[in-house]
């Protein structure tokens, strides 16, 4: 029995340090159940990871999905959500497997991660070498950079529908300063209460959109012409690709868990819940407004202002602040490692060191304030590689040798019969996303993006804002109101 036990220990990662930390956390929880800090601040359970994944997956994209439906049509919109949701869950699973593999190999070498947060590019470096590290670092950081930019754009776009006395560019200045306060949140351990609240906020917003659309009903003149043009179709498809590609922070969320090996199916469970938010809301708003959404990338712009809509806007603003932190935190970690501040325990020193990361994000949000089109461009050019192609290729190359497959820390899941089937699935994802997502999607989204720049210009003061009515028109219309 002893040799068998030793063989099992050689294959299965023990995560001794993480398990020990987890047990210590559990002991602390037992002795301080009423501790506010323990309850709200320091999370690392399976539920914390689930809330983080679900909350991070649906933010401002919830407001642009009806716009995507107006480009795709109802049937394509629903089918592509399910398709890309399942595909995204699969590649998140691959990332978790590669993390476990990397962690198990390093722990056998007695490497400690007590004051070090493992990131995706380090996993690629440890398993496949420095070239893969460079590729992973470039795509991941660029994606997270523009993901943060999108959150700032969305904040300005949303608050404008409550207070239009300031233009969207001015609101971007204000929210850039507000979101800069995320430099004080040390790591994903500290997002427990924010993740919980964030998911509640998006749940409210999704069901508000659904109910408000049905209450509003259809106008007699409403039309549902999509799909009409290939450019619009693939632009909408890449926005949905982006929607279910929110796992650029998967490794950081796993590392924040007390027992990371339990992550395997968490992203799938989060995606199933997200379906209950995205499909009903996007379908209902598209049913109500149809082709009118083609010129309104933010769903709030078409719904009548009332207390329920204002509440949804405010909740989404808070959630976008949280999502900004989710997207920026890995960038903070990378920057800290570059300047040698990652091991510093002082929160204030780390916060000051992180500030240079926020400045370019703030600047880019002012240059490119195109809410819907930038989602599609980021989805096609960055998410396609970061979230789908690179994880699938990395998994195939990591386990290309028989010895690697035999000693793998994680075997294929129960529903995949063999390693060959794993390779077939991964190869299909690489080809599909490379051709459809990056190829056609890149062409369509860049074409649409350039069109927005030509129409509105860089540094647009108020993108897709309603033009003020001329005084005579306003006066003539007054008696009818």
Here the CATH number for the domain that contains residue 116 is 1.20.1740.10
Q: Is residue 4 part of a domain?
A: no
Which pLDDT score is estimated for 481? 35
Burial 231-254 (b: 16+ CB within 10 A, else e): bbbbbbbbbbbbbbbbbbbbbbbb
Q: Is residue 441 part of a domain?
A: yes
Q: Using 50, 70 and 90 to split pLDDT, how confident is the model at 3?
A: very low
Number of domains observed in the structure of the chain: 1
- Is residue 139 within 8 A of residue 386, CB to CB? The reply is yes
Q: Is residue 137 part of a domain?
A: yes
Kindly state the tokens that stand for 37. 């800090």
Q: Is residue 152 part of a domain?
A: yes
**Is 231 or 165 the better-scoring residue by pLDDT?**
231
Q: What is the DSSP string of 92-104?
A: HHHHHHHHHHHHH
Which pLDDT score is estimated for 247? 65
User: Which ranges constitute the DSSP H helices of 301-401?
Assistant: 307-339, 347-367, 371-378, 390-398
Q: Is residue 286 part of a domain?
A: yes
Cβ neighbours for 38, distance < 8 A, ≥ 6 positions apart: 28, 29, 32
Burial 114-129 (b: 16+ CB within 10 A, else e): eeebbbbbbbbbbbbe
pTM for this model (two decimals): 0.80
Q: Is residue 466 part of a domain?
A: no
Q: Is residue 19 part of a domain?
A: no
The model's pLDDT over 22-36, given as tens digits with 9 standing for 90+, comes to 444 444 444 444 455
The answer to whether residue 21 scores a pLDDT higher than 70 is no
Three-state secondary-structure class, residue 437: helix
Q: Using 50, 70 and 90 to split pLDDT, how confident is the model at 42?
A: low
Query: What's the DSSP call for residue 2?
Result: H
* CA separation for the pair 396, 442 (Å, rounded): 25
Q: Is residue 87 part of a domain?
A: yes
* CA separation for the pair 479, 290 (Å, rounded): 30
The model's pLDDT over 279-300, given as tens digits with 9 standing for 90+, comes to 999 999 999 999 999 888 888 8
- Residue ranges making up the domain that contains 269: 44-456
Cis peptide preceding 358, ω within 30 of 0: no
Q: How far are the Cα atoms of 17, 45, 70, 136 from residue 126, in angstroms, in the given order?
A: 19, 26, 44, 12
Q: What is the DSSP string of 139-167?
A: HHHHHHHHHHHHHHHHHHHHHTTT--SS-
């Amino acid at each position: 029995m002893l040799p068998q036990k030793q063989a099992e220990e050689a294959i299965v990662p023990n995560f001794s340090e993480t398990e020990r930390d987890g047990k210590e956390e559990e002991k602390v929880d037992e002795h301080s159940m009423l501790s506010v800090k323990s309850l709200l601040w320091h999370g690392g359970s399976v539920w914390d990871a689930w809330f983080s994944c679900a909350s991070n997956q649906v933010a401002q994209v919830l407001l642009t999905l009806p716009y995507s439906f107006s480009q795709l049509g109802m049937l394509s919109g629903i089918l592509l959500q399910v398709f890309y949701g399942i595909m995204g869950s699969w590649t998140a699973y691959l990332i978790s497997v590669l993390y476990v593999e990397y962690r198990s190999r390093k722990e056998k070498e007695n490497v400690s991660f007590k004051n070090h947060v493992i990131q995706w590019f380090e996993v690629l470096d440890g398993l496949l070498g420095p070239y893969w590290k460079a590729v992973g670092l470039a795509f991941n950081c660029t994606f997270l950079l523009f993901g943060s930019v999108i959150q700032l754009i969305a904040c300005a776009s949303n608050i404008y529908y409550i207070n239009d006395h300031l233009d969207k560019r001015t609101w971007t200045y204000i929210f850039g300063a507000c979101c800069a306060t995320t430099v004080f949140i040390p790591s994903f351990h500290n997002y427990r209460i924010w993740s919980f609240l964030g998911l509640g906020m998006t749940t409210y917003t999704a069901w508000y959109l659904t109910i408000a659309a049905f209450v509003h009903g259809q106008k007699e003149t409403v039309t549902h012409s999509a799909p009409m043009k290939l450019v619009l179709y693939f632009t909408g498809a890449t926005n949905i690709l982006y929607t279910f590609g929110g796992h650029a922070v998967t490794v950081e969320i796993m590392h924040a868990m007390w027992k990371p090996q339990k992550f395997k199916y968490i992203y799938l469970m989060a995606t199933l819940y997200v379906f209950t938010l995205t499909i009903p809301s996007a379908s209902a708003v598209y049913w109500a407004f149809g082709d009118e959404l083609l010129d309104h990338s933010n769903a709030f712009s078409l719904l009548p202002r009332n207390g329920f809509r204002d509440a949804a806007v405010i909740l989404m603003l808070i959630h976008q602040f949280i999502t900004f932190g989710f997207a920026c935190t890995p960038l903070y970690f990378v920057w800290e490692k570059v300047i040698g501040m990652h091991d510093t325990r002082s929160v204030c020193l780390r916060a000051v060191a992180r500030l240079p990361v926020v400045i370019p994000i703030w600047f880019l949000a002012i240059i490119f304030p195109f809410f819907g089109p930038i989602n599609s461009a980021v989805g096609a050019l960055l998410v396609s590689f970061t979230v789908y192609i690179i994880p699938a290729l990395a998994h195939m190359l990591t386990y290309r040798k028989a010895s690697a497959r035999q000693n793998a820390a994680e075997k294929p899941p129960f529903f995949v019969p063999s390693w060959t089937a794993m390779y077939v699935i991964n190869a299909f994802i690489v080809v599909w996303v490379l051709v459809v997502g990056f190829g056609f999607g890149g062409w369509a989204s860049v074409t649409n993006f350039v069109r927005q720049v030509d129409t509105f210009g860089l540094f647009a003061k108020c993108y897709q804002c309603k033009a003020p009515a001329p005084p005579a028109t306003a006066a003539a219309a007054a008696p009818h109101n």
